[in-house]
Amino acid sequence: MTVSVGIDKIGFYTPNDYLDMVDLATARGEDPNKYLIGIGQSKQAVIPPTQDVVTMAANAADQILTTATKKEIAMVLFGTESGVDNSKATAVYLAHLLGLPSSTRAIELKQACYGATAGLQLAADFLRVHPTAKVLVIGADIARYGLRTPGEVTQGGGAIAMLVTANPQVLALEPTSSYHTEDVMDFWRPTYRTEALVDGRYSTTVYLDFFKTVWTDYQRQTQRTIADFNAFVFHLPFTKMGRKGLRQILPEASPAQQAQLKEAFEASQLDNRHVGNLYTGSLYLSLLSLLRHGRMQAGDRLGLFSYGSGAEGEFFSGILQPHYQQGFDSDKLDQLLAQRRRVSVVEYEAIYQAQLSNDGRDVQLPVGEGQAKYYLAGRQHQQRQYRSR
């Protein structure tokens, strides 16, 4: 008998500052509706130098791990394109910060915004062989395009942590998925750069083409049609992108189902609209947003489209479980988003430029009162100084 495997718990973290997109549009001489409607973003997370992908992942994972669960984690799979070292995996720093047992296998996975999906699928396959184990899958990134670039409005950052287990509480993954890889230069970041290089409009075309390819192939493999789905969840580099993805397949649905799928999409983009792009975590923040704000029911089939520039796409599906709402803390997420501080464009630009430099010198970062539980205190002797309160 096939073991049911999938997402048991989801945690999310994004730092305390945000930039309002009307403020950014005004400063950049753009019509605010271009950002609010044309791009579909209202706010963007601003990442202070005291947070990086390791600390954000730790702050997200802390919400879903108990002392008992930590002992059962067999593997940490950390998806990111914003790693902090060209050799050592972020997963090793994370495992240490969280106090995971040394019997844990800890590795980093990179393929732009696709890394967390690779982690999720590898975890699922591992659990089909080792059903008593638990795997911690992370998707954490800081999306940086540069000040005054077309991509600036699509920046953001944060971390998703997923506990992946057998007999999961939230979403049981179905075994069939369709994936597709091509060597495409739509978005990349050479090791000497802290900001992405992107052929923006081309990247949106590749995204849509890949979605069409894997959706068609998934249907061929499973003999399912759009009528078998209750919602579609998309990688959301900005919310308009997923809206375009959904529009591409809506004509395949009846008018009544079209209305239902559109309603689900609105729920799935709400939280992303207020955080911005977190690259590999974005699909899973959108899943969380759908589960928090949508009218979903146990037994519903969700279709998920993951896309990582460069490029790799995957379409897979899962069945919502009876107690899915117990797998995340919706009130805590509301609180996290509500308590954030709105920064001015001038403050945002200063924070953006204050990221830890690449020159290796010693730095002590200003650590304030409202610091998250896990934070970066600076760098000494070429080593990042991670701390927890």
DSSP 2: P
> Closest separation between CB of residue 347 and ligand CAA, Å?
22
Applying the rule CB under 6 A, the residues between 239 and 298 that interact with ligand CAA are: 241, 277, 279
Q: How far apart are CA 115 and CA 170, in angstroms?
A: 21
Residue 210-249 contact track with ligand CAA, rule CB under 6 A, x = bound: -------------------------x-xx--x--------
Q: How far apart are CA 284 and CA 33, in angstroms?
A: 26
Applying the rule CB under 6 A, the residues between 75 and 134 that interact with ligand CAA are: 112-113
Cβ nearer to ligand CAA, comparing 18 with 238:
238
Catalytic residue among 113, 152, 174, 312: 113
Q: Which stretch binds ligand CAA (CB under 6 A): 202-210, 224-232, 262-270, 348-356?
A: 202-210
Q: How far apart are CA 265 and CA 297, in angstroms?
A: 15
Number of helices and strands in the chain (H, E): 12, 17
Catalytic residue among 108, 152, 235, 274: 235
> Closest separation between CB of residue 282 and ligand CAA, Å?
7
Q: Cα dist. 159→12, 153, 328 in Å?
A: 6, 19, 14
Query: Is 235 one of the catalytic residues?
Result: yes
Give the bridge partners for 232, in sequence order.
303
Q: Which stretch binds ligand CAA (CB under 6 A): 26-34, 85-93, 158-166, 260-268?
A: 26-34
Among 22, 27, 38, 363, interactor with ligand CAA by CB under 6 A: 38
Query: Is 72 one of the catalytic residues?
Result: no
Q: Which residues contact 96 (CB under 8 A, 6 or more apart)?
A: none
Q: What is the 3-state secondary structure (H, E, C) of 235-295?
A: CCCCHHHHHHHHHHHHHHCCHHHHHHHHHHHHHHHHHHHCCECCHHHHHHHHHHHHHHHCC
Q: Is 40 left (phi over 0), alpha (psi -120 to 50) or beta?
A: left
In the complex, residue closest to ligand CAA by CB: 38
Q: Which stretch binds ligand CAA (CB under 6 A): 2-10, 58-66, 193-201, 361-369?
A: 193-201
Query: Is 314 one of the catalytic residues?
Result: no
Q: Cα dist. 166→23, 57, 134, 327 in Å?
A: 46, 22, 8, 14
Q: How far apart are CA 387 and CA 389, in angstroms?
A: 7
Residue 204 binds to ligand CAA (criterion: CB under 6 A): yes
Binding site for ligand CAA (CB under 6 A): 31, 33-34, 37-39, 112-113, 150-151, 153-154, 187, 198, 200-201, 203-204, 207, 235, 237-238, 241, 277, 279, 307, 309
Residues with a catalytic annotation lie at: 81, 113, 235
